[in-house]
Structure 1
């Protein structure tokens, strides 16, 4: 069993109303021994969506410290953050990450050309393949601009929102640009996140797809972090048993957690 969930949101995130305590209690109930709270920090998220994806980092650290002390005999709680990357914010994020003692930093792509693919506006004037390739290109652009993160999150999350979702999607179709992403992750000595939320969304795949995880290993990738991307307690560790079986079948012996920004390998 995978006993650590390293992508979890609470009410510090603009799209979750779950108190941190509730997430931690649920983690204990289902047998997790480690949890990393990685709330959204999408600085300058496009104003047209009327959402706030920033949070009070000092208050977050205060709550984490309180929770860590209260639950110290039952679960290990790590300090994390999910950065919604865009190249123009590289300096702002570097200052933030340098200022606070996070254990773990997820770099993610949520915005393409000041649009969020979650909304139909992104798809109005483009075909699905163009939309997907535009998203993948942002990952490369973000890594060129900023790489002080530990894992790259849900690299094919775009398929949740495409017109046909993952019906016409495959590693093979986008292998040229996906290989560039995987090689950049490996070259920069970062981890690849395996995010199980795709199963929750009914896609019958993780993010990324199994074939992309397989290719990552073929190219020499070593570090895999695992997260549910839970925004509600019932989604913690979502389908972890399924993804554990997949990773072992692909030849991975370990998954990775981070403490004080340093990787630790945990045997399956």
Structure 2
């Protein structure tokens, strides 16, 4: 299971490492393949699509150079993490139709008022509830837009809710999550197991066990695994734990995407 399909380079505003540094670290960690999935958030925020466009040509040039340089040691996929394309539907469709990727992650980082989920004040319990309900509603809107391969970090807002909720679970929002999982299965997409949660206050993968179990009950079999690394030290993090968890929940393989097509990797 040595394929990390969620890594951010310096071409994401919150990333820090060059693509070459990422490749070198992946080789040291014993990975067989990685996918560079820099942010493309379709919004006017500072970390929005303008930042990506300003660096797109440089990102592609470095990617091609590094992929060729390390071709005999590591498979490097050309990916992207697309955020809330429904903010700019026509532009997003045009943008994606004119570019090719190995792998496209779909995600939500901003709410409909374009407030950053990371920067909201969660001191009031009703604000926690509001954000989670809006977030899951927007995940359905993301799925309605489509155009991606795997749904990223389904319980993303919990990352910044330590001390604001009693325990790191989204079980109270099952009625919102079930339609999301059904739609992922209906579209034959993958669901991401994000290992970042093992390293933060949740001490478990994202999403939690019951979500993965429910996904499998509904017929979901495609799972992608990513560290969501923004630093070199996080690349491939907790992959052994992720593999053990998936096996325990009845999954037999993960999916690795090349040219937008899933290839099975046995656990």
Match of 1:162 in 2: 161
RMSD, matched Cα: 2.1
Say how many residue pairs are matched.
Answer: 265
Between stretches 187-196 and 115-124, larger displacement belongs to 115-124
Match of 2:52 in 1: 54
Q: Deviations over 1:49-102 (max 9, x none)?
A: 899652432322221111111001110110000011141323222222221221
User: What is the alpha-carbon distance in structure 2 between the residues aligned to residue 51 and residue 65 of structure 1?
Assistant: 22
Match of 2:140 in 1: 140
| Contact kept in structure 2, 1:115 and 1:121, CA below 8 Å | no
Match of 1:90 in 2: 89
User: What is the alpha-carbon distance in structure 2 between the residues aligned to residue 193 and residue 164 of structure 1?
Assistant: 25
Runs of at least 5 residues in structure 1 that lack an aligned partner in the other structure: none
| Contact kept in structure 2, 1:43 and 1:54, CA below 8 Å | no
Question: Is residue 216 of structure 2 the alignment partner of residue 247 of structure 1?
Answer: no
Between stretches 167-176 and 209-218, larger displacement belongs to 167-176
SS in 2 for 1:127: helix
Match of 1:64 in 2: 63
Q: Deviations over 1:35-62 (max 9, x none)?
A: 1000011132435x89965243232222
TM-score norm. by structure 1 comes to 0.92
| Contact kept in structure 2, 1:123 and 1:131, CA below 8 Å | no
TM-score norm. by structure 2 comes to 0.92
User: What is the alpha-carbon distance in structure 2 between the residues aligned to residue 46 and residue 125 of structure 1?
Assistant: 26
User: What is the alpha-carbon distance in structure 2 between the residues aligned to residue 84 and residue 139 of structure 1?
Assistant: 10
Between stretches 217-226 and 38-47, larger displacement belongs to 38-47
| Contact kept in structure 2, 1:86 and 1:111, CA below 8 Å | no
